[in-house]
Structure 1
Amino acid sequence: MSFGDPNNPYGQQQPPAPQGQPGYGYPQQAPQGVPPQGGYGYPQQGQQPYGGVPPQAPGTIQANNGYINVAGLGTVQLPTMGRRLGARLIDGVAIGILYAIFSAIGLAGVFGASKSIDDCSGMDPLSPAYSSCLDDANAAAGGIVMTFLGIMLLFFLVTLLYEWLMIAFAGATLGKMALGLKVVKENTGQNPGLGGGFIRWIIPIVGAFLCYIGAVLVYLSPFFDNSGKLQGWHDRAAGTIVVKTK
């Protein structure tokens, strides 16, 4: 029996594999310049997980698409400036109503003191009763003025506590809560705390002494932020950032 006999099926030699295709037995070496294909199982070192997104460092803007990675929060969305200004407008209306109430109380006292002075006008200017009436009216007016100044000081403290403490411990005022915004520390994702809340509040207040133009510029300063994070000057000083919660 000849192994070269064409009629012997056991002695036939295997035909050579077509050129360019792997043959039987050991795997062929991959062509030069073509990386080997990975098999199934766990990804190799340096490869990304299947279907996953590469992790980003905190504070990284994702292709300027309105999302940012914040430590402790993960990927969150940045609000538009229209939403932020809308929240500021709601806060302004709330504070304005409070200011109107306090002002009305103070003005009512001033008008009452003025009426007391008018009541003395029908008396004889040389009479002791007239002098006593004027003394009482002036004392009442002085007391009303002091009361008015005290009310304005109380109003200032209320606005301070409203903006400062709510941002410090809740991360949001009523306006921000209504529009789904929150102020967080950029490096931790936590509430700003007393220090961060105070810094964020005091900078617009200092700007308000310049005919309120400085405060307006502070609130509009996120428009000038070229980092894509929409951080205002007060946010940069306090190390905070505004994010959406809903």
Structure 2
Amino acid sequence: MSFGDPNNPYGQQPGQPPQGPPQGQPGYGYPQQAPQGVPQQGYGYPQQQPGYPPQTGYPQQPGQPYGGGYPQGQPGYGGGVPELAHWGLRAGGLIIDGLIIGTPYLLLVGIGGAMGDAAGGILALLGFLVMIGLTLWQLYQEGTTGQTIGKKAVGIRVLREADGRPLGFGMAFVRRLAHFLDSIACYIGWLWPLWDEKKQTFADKVCSSVVIRSK
């Protein structure tokens, strides 16, 4: 019984051209064929894991809003150019906020002044503390949501000009201080939105804020 020539494993006859491995059998160094029904993966490419989004090769940059541009869900932004609030709406919101903050203060100070004794002084001090507390609370609301009670009543919102996000408490406080610039020179800064292209006061320009309509 012959087991074949070990130097001629495929039974090649002398004088015939070299032959490759038998049909269906992979040669040495070639990748094995995947079983039927199993998708083949290219060499060097990671396999796609089920339940994960496809890999594009362009990872999203950290901190970049999804989709680019203005953030999703911000009123007035992300869906086109926002409508800027006109001067009348801004003035109406300011008057309402002034009444909300000033009325308790004036009421308590007036009662305290009429009493004229130690209890009256305590009421006047309480009125001052209430005014400070309401002012800080309004600034917090403006910084986190873009709206005070007055702005919400007239349907306007103050946001950052760069990305349409709320100012934050710190910048809302700075913007309130910057209204000093609107009051100097005969209060011309408060009237500047009447003819300004972006309807901004001097404080808005310093803090890079805009006031838009929210409804």
TM-score of the two chains, using structure 2 as the length reference: 0.55
SS at match of 1:184: strand
- Find the aligned partners of 2:158 and 2:128 in 1 and give their Cα distance: 27
Equivalent of 1:237 in 202, 206, 210: 206
In the TM superposition, residue 215 of structure 1 has moved relative to its aligned partner by: 8.8
Q: Deviations over 1:22-78 (max 9, x none)?
A: xxxxxxxxxxxxxxxxxxxxxxxxxxxxxxxxxxx98xxxxxxxxxxx864532111
Q: Deviations over 1:91-130 (max 9, x none)?
A: 22222322232223422441xx3xxxxxxxxxxxxxxxxx
Aligned pairs (5 A) from 1:1-246: 72=78, 74-110=80-116, 113=117, 140=118, 144-145=120-121, 147-148=122-123, 150-204=125-179, 206=180, 216-223=187-194, 225=196, 228-246=197-215
- Find the aligned partners of 1:172 and 1:215 in 2 and give their Cα distance: 27
> Which residue of the partner structure matches residue 6 of structure 2?
none
Greater helix share, structure number: 1
In the TM superposition, residue 157 of structure 1 has moved relative to its aligned partner by: 1.2
SS at match of 1:74: coil
> Which residue of the partner structure matches residue 11 of structure 2?
none
Check 1:101–1:150 CA distance in 2 against 1; reply closer, same or farther (3 A cut).
same
In the TM superposition, residue 221 of structure 1 has moved relative to its aligned partner by: 2.8
The residue type equivalent to 2:150 in the other structure is G
In the TM superposition, residue 151 of structure 1 has moved relative to its aligned partner by: 2.5
In the TM superposition, residue 171 of structure 1 has moved relative to its aligned partner by: 0.6
- Find the aligned partners of 1:236 and 1:98 in 2 and give their Cα distance: 32
Larger mean CA deviation between 166-175 and 99-108 belongs to 99-108
Identical-pair percentage: 28
- Find the aligned partners of 2:178 and 2:166 in 1 and give their Cα distance: 18
Does the 8 Å contact 1:87/1:179 carry over to 2?
A: yes
The residue type equivalent to 1:87 in the other structure is G
In the TM superposition, residue 214 of structure 1 has moved relative to its aligned partner by: 6.4
> Which residue of the partner structure matches residue 39 of structure 1?
none
Check 1:166–1:219 CA distance in 2 against 1; reply closer, same or farther (3 A cut).
farther
In the TM superposition, residue 189 of structure 1 has moved relative to its aligned partner by: 0.6
Check 1:177–1:160 CA distance in 2 against 1; reply closer, same or farther (3 A cut).
same
Q: Which runs of 5+ in 1 are unaligned?
A: 1-56, 59-69, 114-139
In the TM superposition, residue 240 of structure 1 has moved relative to its aligned partner by: 0.9
Does the 8 Å contact 2:114/2:120 carry over to 1?
A: no
The residue type equivalent to 2:89 in the other structure is R
In the TM superposition, residue 84 of structure 1 has moved relative to its aligned partner by: 1.4
- Find the aligned partners of 1:217 and 1:162 in 2 and give their Cα distance: 28
TM-score of the two chains, using structure 1 as the length reference: 0.49
Q: Which runs of 5+ in 2 are unaligned?
A: 1-68, 71-75
SS at match of 2:81: strand
Larger mean CA deviation between 152-161 and 191-200 belongs to 152-161
